[in-house]
């Protein structure tokens, strides 16, 4: 295991499920399987340059952080990645992931690693190390409302490029006004609608509807999560910004 990621795991404020390396997916040559994951929505895959989420590159998801369900967009990918048996790392999530919801979608909660950095610098460091580790199949990092230089974001992009992980950085909508090195920048400004703000080598500045017909029947989608305006003590544990 990457030594730096082991340091993250050994922290007192890190929660981890049970991890086993036996589930790693590889082909006959010993390499990780495909570098693209379907988003789970054919309308979105059709507009994405690689036909889905490209592993080994950085994705930025911009939302207002008030429960529009942007995390729900990645549930199908999380389910697919769960079969690999590697960590799915959540860094500075605004809410605690709701285990029954993840399990209902076929996501192994024993592979979920929660990291709660104590500072902005710690957040960047933990994100970079998780991306550089070969034991992470996905890294979801909530960068918050902090200001980041292009150079800092570039380090995360380079770390993602050198890995085969799904890399998603959650940032506020107003971050769209600043340049960022991410290969794909998305916005969720409306219910079940994704705006492709930037896409390297592909279509940009277009809206994509997510058809309800492609949701998993009788399973939670996170699209129903309401805008929450009450006190933090009563916030639902299943909500993702």
Dihedral over alpha carbons 142, 147, 151, 155 (to 10 degrees): -10
What is the DSSP secondary-structure string of 172-200? EGGGGGS----SEEEEEEETTEEEEEEET
Residue 171 or residue 25, greater confidence: 171
Maximum pairwise Cα distance, the chain? 53
Contacts of 62 (CB under 8 A, 6+ apart): 170, 171, 172, 173, 175, 176, 185, 186, 187, 188, 197
pLDDT tens digits along 159-203: 999 899 999 999 999 999 999 999 999 998 787 889 999 999 888
- Domains annotated on the chain, with CATH: 3-16+34-210 (3.40.50.300)
* The pLDDT of residue 210 is above 60: yes
Nearest to 81 by CA among 196, 208, 9, 168: 168
The DSSP secondary-structure symbol of 89 reads: E
State residue 194 phi and psi, 5-degree precision.
-110, 130
Confidence of residue 225 (pLDDT cuts 50, 70, 90): very low
Confidence (pLDDT) at 180: 95
Q: What angle do CA 159, 45, 21 make, to 5 degrees?
A: 45
- Residues 89-147 have pLDDT tens digits of 999 988 888 888 888 888 999 999 999 999 999 999 999 999 998 899 999 999 988 89
Q: What's the whole-number mean pLDDT along residues 65-71?
A: 61
Q: Which residues contact 42 (CB under 8 A, 6 or more apart)?
A: 211, 214
| Cβ atoms of 135 and 5 closer than 8 Å | yes
What is the secondary structure of 18-65 as a DSSP string? ---GGG----TTS--S-SEE--S-HHHHHHSTTSSEETTSEEEEEE-S
């Amino acid at each position: 295991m990457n030594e730096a990621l082991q340091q993250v795991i050994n922290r007192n404020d890190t929660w981890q499920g049970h991890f086993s390396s036996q589930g790693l997916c590889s082909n006959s040559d010993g390499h990780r399987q495909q570098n693209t994951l379907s988003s789970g929505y054919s309308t979105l895959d059709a507009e994405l340059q690689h036909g889905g989420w490209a592993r080994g590159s950085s994705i930025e998801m911009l939302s207002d952080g008030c429960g529009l369900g942007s995390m729900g967009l990645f549930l199908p990918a999380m389910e697919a990645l769960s079969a690999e048996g590697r960590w799915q790392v959540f860094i500075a999530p605004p809410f605690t992931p709701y285990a029954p919801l993840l399990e209902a979608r076929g996501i192994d909660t024993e592979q979920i690693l929660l990291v709660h950095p104590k500072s902005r610098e710690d957040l960047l460091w933990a994100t970079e190390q998780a991306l550089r580790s070969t034991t992470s199949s996905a890294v979801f990092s909530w960068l918050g409302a902090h200001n980041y230089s292009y150079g800092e974001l570039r380090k995360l992009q380079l770390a993602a490029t050198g890995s085969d992980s799904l890399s998603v950085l959650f940032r506020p909508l107003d971050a769209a006004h600043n340049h960022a090195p991410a290969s794909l920048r998305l916005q969720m400004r409306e219910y079940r609608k994704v705006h492709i703000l930037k896409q390297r080598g592909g279509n940009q500045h277009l809206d994509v509807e997510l058809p309800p017909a492609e949701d998993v029947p009788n399973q939670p989608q996170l699209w129903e999560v309401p805008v929450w305006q009450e006190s933090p003590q009563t916030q639902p544990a299943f909500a993702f910004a």
